[in-house]
Amino acid sequence: MKNYYIDVANFSLNKYGEELCGDNVEIVTTEDGLIVVMSDGLGSGVKANILATLTSKIAITMLKEGATIEETIDTIANTLPECQVRKLAYSTFTILKIKNNGEVYMVEYDNPPVFFFKNAREGELLKKEREVNNKIIYETSFLMGQGDMLTIVSDGAVHAGVGQLLNLGWQWEHINNFLKNLVMKEKTSESICRHLLEVCKNLYDDKPGDDTTVVTVKLKKAEYMDIFTGPPKRKADDKLLIQAIEKCNGKKILCGGTTANIVSSALGKAITIDLDNYSSEVPPMGYMEGIDLVTEGLLTLNKTKDILLNYLNEKKQKRLPSPIDGQDGASKLSKMIIEDGSHIHIWVGQAVNPAHQNPLFPSDFNLKMKVVKELVEILKALGKIVEITYL
Report the pLDDT value the prediction gives residue 389, as an integer from 0 to 100.
Answer: 95
pTM over 0.75: yes
Do residues 228 and 247 touch, judged by C-beta distance below 8 A? no
| C-alpha to C-alpha distances, 389 to 227, 231, 238, 349, 375, nearest whole angstrom | 10, 12, 14, 9, 14
Helix (H, G, I), strand (E, B) or coil at 246: helix
DSSP 355-390: TT--TTS-GGG-HHHHHHHHHHHHHHHTT-EEEEEE
CA distance 126 to 338: 34
391 residues of the chain, pLDDT tens digit each: 567 999 999 999 999 999 999 999 999 999 899 999 999 998 889 989 999 999 999 999 999 999 999 999 889 888 876 665 555 557 899 999 999 999 999 999 999 999 999 988 899 999 999 998 888 999 999 999 999 999 999 999 999 987 666 667 789 999 999 999 898 888 899 999 999 999 999 999 999 999 999 999 999 998 999 999 999 989 999 999 999 999 998 999 999 999 999 999 999 999 999 999 888 899 999 999 999 999 999 999 999 999 999 999 988 877 777 889 899 999 999 999 999 999 999 999 988 766 555 555 554 447 888 999 999 999 999 989 999 999 9
Q: Which domains does the chain have, with CATH numbers?
A: 5-220 (3.60.40.10), 224-390 (no CATH)
Burial degree of 53 (CB within 10 A; 0-12, 13-18, 19+): buried
| C-alpha to C-alpha distances, 203 to 112, 167, 187, 209, nearest whole angstrom | 18, 11, 24, 10
What residue type is assigned to position 226 of the chain? D
- DSSP classification of residue 235: G
- Beta bridge pairs of residue 131: 136
Do residues 214 and 10 touch, judged by C-beta distance below 8 A? yes
CA distance 179 to 183: 6
**Which of 191, 95, 100 is closest to 144 using CA atoms?**
100
**Which of 91, 66, 69, 65 is closest to 79 using CA atoms?**
91
CA distance 49 to 293: 43
- DSSP classification of residue 191: H
CA distance 34 to 144: 14
